Amino acid sequence: MSVPVWYRVAATALLVCATVPTTAAESAIGFSGVVPGAALWPARAAVVSFADRAAIDMTVSNPGGAPALIQLSSNAGATFSRPALRVAAHGGAKVRAFVSFDGRAARTVVICATRISASDGREIGRNCARYAMKRLALD
């Protein structure tokens, strides 16, 4: 069986093109967006509680390729089951936040997870999630 000449020429051209290194000038590479921090899931949730406090179950993940320290914080004085934890590369961990209603019937809390480099301690990124909470009464 003979292979046509045009097929051999096309196959050789493809092989040559595939092995030529591609370079780009730094100014030609555009970037827009946010460098990922520690991801919080769910990013938004509605929480209902019959008590004076609400518990929010979250999953914190490290999307980076190296282990990182994750620190949790909130705008409403939430307490965390694990306020700081070490998460493996591409790993995750479950965390629970407790938020007091402070006498209110409804409340919104923003919880942030900050990813910190395990090697040099610098902040790599931050992701925040928003949770709406409602206190129900049995009256």
CATH value at residue 71: 2.60.40.10
- Contact of 104 with 76, CB cutoff 8 Å: no
Residue with tokens 């390729």: 65
Its domain, for residue 77, covers: 39-135
Cis, bond preceding 42 (omega within 30 deg of 0): yes
Residue 117 is assigned to a structural domain of this protein: yes
Tokens standing for 130?
């928003």
Residue 6 is assigned to a structural domain of this protein: no
Written as tens digits, the pLDDT of the chain (139 aa) is 554 544 443 443 333 333 333 333 444 445 444 445 668 888 888 899 999 999 999 999 988 888 889 999 999 999 999 999 999 989 999 999 999 999 999 999 999 999 888 788 889 888 999 999 999 987 6
Tokens standing for 115?
């990813």
Residue 14 is assigned to a structural domain of this protein: no
Q: Domain count of the chain?
A: 1
Residue 27 is assigned to a structural domain of this protein: no
Entry pTM: 0.69
Q: d(Cα 107, Cα 48) in Å, to the nearest integer?
A: 10
Residue 31 is assigned to a structural domain of this protein: no
